[in-house]
Structure 1
Amino acid sequence: MGGLFRAPKPVVVPPPPAPDPAPAAPPPEQQGQEARAEARARAARGLAGTIATSARGVLDPIPAAPRKSLLGE
């Protein structure tokens, strides 16, 4: 019975190409300047820039809906 069916031949997968060399990291002075510039930009946006989501903003109170005072109104 073993001679009736043959096992399929394994597929040979070529190895992936070698990765490109990593680009050189910028000098520490330049990294520090970029970090300080990013921190200044983040501080300049401030609290109002992060909270306001519309013309009204989140900090303004929501107008209260009129409430019924008597049953059946």
Structure 2
Amino acid sequence: MGGLFRAPKPVIVPPPAAPPPAAPTPTPEQAGQQAVAESRTRAARGLEGTIATSDRGLLGPLPTIARKSLLGE
């Protein structure tokens, strides 16, 4: 019966790999240029990139619905 109740073999975990070298920090000029480029791409999307909630979208005219103004009408 010794074959039925054997202890599981231990799992060998490899040591963690060395972290990759840190990316060089951008100079203030490079950071500014990158920020300008990101803002230009964001602005280029414009209103066409907004979410349309229906077939008329957000900017279409609202439908006119006859509403009651007094109780009992």
| Normalised TM-score (structure 1) | 0.50
What is the TM-score normalised by the length of structure 2? 0.50
